[in-house]
Structure 1
Amino acid sequence: MIRSLVFFITFTFLVQCSTSPTGRKQIILVKDAEMNEMGTAAFSEMKTKTPVDTAATANQYVNCIVSAELAVTHDTTGVESWEVVVFRDNTPNAFALPGGKIGVYTGMFSVAKNKDQLAAVIGHEIGHVIARHGNERVSQNQLAGGSVKILESLGKPTVAGALGLGAKFGVLLPFSREHESEADIIGLELMAKSGFDPRQSVELWKNMSALGGSKTNELLSTHPSDATRMKNLNAAMPNAMVLWEKAKAEGKRPNCQL
């Protein structure tokens, strides 16, 4: 009874004191250092299971965009340096893990058709990290298990799954709709602040929508629908345009080319 009360008080304190970059209250139960260690371990393991593309052109292109966006990113998770890897995989996807680990699949280049669209993708992934979405995912799993010490017994496969990597590390599990929508808005601001055209974020989702395929109804899915994402991005566009114009006036015009 007493332990339950102490846990409830601690839980309430954490919820009230933790907020995301957009001001949303969060459930954060894990220390940043521990999350960063988990992300680093999972990323290292992934690099042994998924082919890495070492082509200079692709890597310079991706790193150019990442560098521009990180220059305007405010991160409080304790990341000392970010690591970016291009994976040779035809899946149009990208991901980021705690600890500042970013992975971009070569398949994304055919959907994000220019630097601005890829900046929307990468900004979104950076958003997941700085908003501690991975920490929230793990914290929610801990609460569901009734413990705040679950991580002590996790093995690599379980750690990877908790962070959103599938069993073979080639499948990326989605965040919640709330996390995805928040990362969209954070990414929109990051791309605009770093000099990329924020309007291209909507064009990106038009491209994604054009891929077709079987898509689960939004109410049953952990991702917002493409239409919802474009609606939310358009709603936030006036502010993003102001940020973009300011960035251009400051001389921020990233010259990233594939």
Structure 2
Amino acid sequence: MIQGCIEGYAFSMISPRLLLPILLLLLAGCSTVVGTGRSQMRVISSEQERELGEQAFQEATAEVTIISKGKEARMVRRLGKRIVEAAEILYPSAEAESYDWKFVLIDDDEIANAWAAPGGKVAVYTGILPITETEAGLAVVVAHEVAHVLAHHSAEELSHALVMNGVLSAGGAALGGSDAKTREIAMQAMGIGGQYGVALPFSRLHESEADELGLFLMAEAGYNPREAIAVWERMAAAQEERTPEFLSTHPAPENRIDEFRELMPEAMELYEHSPYR
């Protein structure tokens, strides 16, 4: 487990004076990703993660219009609630009920995207609805974003960025609101902000994990997991006219579809026994 937490760090780039404190901090922050069992390193607390996520959400939604009424907004909230409930059943160790979950629909038909901030804030743009088409189709996207939150991918990205930028002390991550450098690193590492909500892509490993966990979450929530393949086929088709923002920050649809097919037997088993069916 420890080896998995420290892999990928260029320790030769870190000052020898800081190497031991940082190494001890990395080991202390070693944890396990829910559902997959992969070892990951997180040097920020869950409380810090939620605070940063709330700040990121407020900044990312400050100048947009959030739709709170109507069938589409209700659908976003309804399926979000079901997916969170499914997470509590499927991955109880994730303590999904302790998150401050919120699912919102942003009025912008020009942006085909969705994103999640650490701590449980999930935003969907109206521009992605023609691609997802149905509630089950949208569940593919929302479950994927919920999976990123449950797996603490943003915190992992942020931890790596803080270490490599030297914004750490022996006592932990320097995440004070007055620290401009840390604030900038945090927002970039979380990928929140910018025109499209998600400015930077997660790593291929994180995307693969979110695909797997998200597929199982939607299946447990009673949404047919086969819809994941259909949605990504529509994503690929939409690319012929204009690349959807959601697709631009994710690996090729063909690769995702192959992975979904491999996971489908297990996902269908969950779907067949879902309490929502």
Question: Which whole-Å CA distance do the structure 2 matches of 1:188 and 1:222 have between them?
Answer: 18
Cα pair distance change 1:27/1:46, threshold 3 Å: same
1:87 to 106, 109, 112: 106
Partner of 2:5: none
Shift of 1:201: 0.4
Shift of 1:225: 1.3
Partner SS, residue 49 of structure 1: coil
Residue 246 (str. 1) matches residue 270 (str. 2) = no
Counterpart of 1:184 (choices 200, 205, 211) is 211
SS in 2 for 1:151: coil
The answer to whether the Cα contact below 8 Å between 1:157 and 1:167 also exists between their aligned partners in 2 is no
Give the unaligned 5+ runs of structure 2.
1-15, 89-93
- Count of residues in correspondence between the two structures: 244
2:175 pairs with 1:151: yes
The answer to whether the 8 A contact 1:96-1:129 is kept is yes
Question: Quick one: distance in 1 between partners of 2:198 and 2:99?
Answer: 27
Aligned equivalent of 2:8: none
User: CA offset at residue 196 of structure 1?
Assistant: 0.5
Mapping of residues 19-30 of structure 1, within 5 Å = 19-30=33-44
| Change beyond 3 A, Cα 1:223–1:150 | farther
Q: Distance in 1 between matches of 2:70 and 2:194?
A: 29
Partner of 1:11 in structure 2? Answer: 26
Residues 94, 103 of structure 1: 8 Å contact kept: yes
Runs of 4+ in 1 over 6 A off after TM superposition: none
Displacement of 1:158: 5.1
Q: TM-score, normalised by structure 2?
A: 0.80
AA aligned opposite 1:62: V
Deviation at 1:24, TM superposition (A): 1.1
8 Å CA contact 2:84, 2:96 repeated in 1? no
Verify the 8 A CA contact 1:52 1:85 in the aligned structure 2.
Answer: yes
Structure 1 stretch displaced more, 224-233 or 68-77: 68-77
1:151 Cα offset (Å): 2.5
Name the amino acid aligned to 1:129.
Answer: V
**In 2: Cα distance, 1:134 partner to 1:176 partner:** 10
Equivalent positions of 1:83-162 (< 5 A) are 83-90=102-109, 91-148=111-168, 149-152=173-176, 153-154=179-180, 159-162=186-189
Q: Percentage identity across aligned positions?
A: 32
| Alignment gaps of 5+ in structure 1 | 216-220, 254-258
The two structures have a TM-score, normalised by structure 1, of 0.86
Q: Is the 8 A contact 2:216 2:270 kept in 1?
A: yes
CA RMSD of aligned residues (A): 2.3
Question: Is 2:95 aligned against 1:76?
Answer: yes
